[in-house]
Amino acid sequence: MKKECCGLNFVKNILNVFNIIFLLAGVGVLGVAIWTMIDRYQYVTLLASLTYPIIVYFLLSAGALVILVAFMGCYAVLKEFRILLVVYIFLLVLIFLIEAMVGILAYIYEENVQTELEMGLNNTFLTSYMIDDDVTHAVDFLQEKFHCCGAVSFTDWQHSRWLQTHETDNKVPDSCCKTVTERCGTRDHPSNINYTGCLDLMALHMEHHLYILSAVGLGICVLQIFGIVLACKLYFKLKNSYAVDDPHDRRTFI
């Protein structure tokens, strides 16, 4: 009994340590998701698929759920509440599946984002700029941030719907300029505008960020395995402890 009691306390302490680490990991995951939404989400309207926003929203949900479950786990351990411990284990498995999906999806999408942008980015630039406000804002933001112009080259803008339907002296959007000022896009000389296309720069940027999301998702999955094993171990130790203390205790059968 003394050995069993020490074993029980040891598992409880280890699981509490895990919950603290798990809580910090959840705050980190939530922080990465929020950072992605604030700093990188301007590009979403330029993507042909919804894969990227789906990854971000799942990561955001998982981060919030991790924080909730970590507090639940601490309470279940403190009170030796086995029913809540079962719920805790179930939620750990659920988070494991969500994070695994995020990690795998981000990794797969990282391999395909270049192809997606090659197929759709130029068309988005040429057909939606100054037509769709969200796309216009995203294109201007992209061109200013990466100091680029057009999807493949600054000459792409010569075929754009914007120049064909709007009365303007501009040859490229003002956001193409090295120093952005009103109507600076009337001159397309290399001393005035950026000649590099945005496609490769955006693809490289997206691939790097997707690698981070994949690493975060799969990294949390590894952590989850330890939590699931420890929680199951504690569950059965509590059950055995109640059975020894009082075989007729109703908690023995839960």
Taking residue 92's Cβ as centre, other Cβ atoms within 10 Å add up to: 27
CA–CA distance, 216 with 208 (Å, rounded to integer): 13
| Long-range Cβ contacts of 37-44 (<8 Å, 24+ apart) | 40/209, 42/137, 42/138, 42/141, 42/142, 43/138, 43/142, 43/202, 43/206, 44/138
**pLDDT 10s per residue in the chain (254 long)?**
444 444 778 888 899 999 999 999 999 999 988 888 887 667 788 888 888 888 889 999 999 999 999 999 999 888 888 899 999 999 999 999 999 999 999 999 988 888 888 888 888 899 999 988 989 999 999 999 999 999 999 999 999 999 888 888 899 999 999 999 999 999 989 999 999 999 999 999 888 888 988 998 888 888 889 989 999 988 888 877 755 555 544 444 45
Structural element, H or E, at residue 232: helix 199-245
Q: What is the pTM of this model?
A: 0.78
| Domain count for the chain | 1
What is the residue range of 26's domain?
A: 2-253
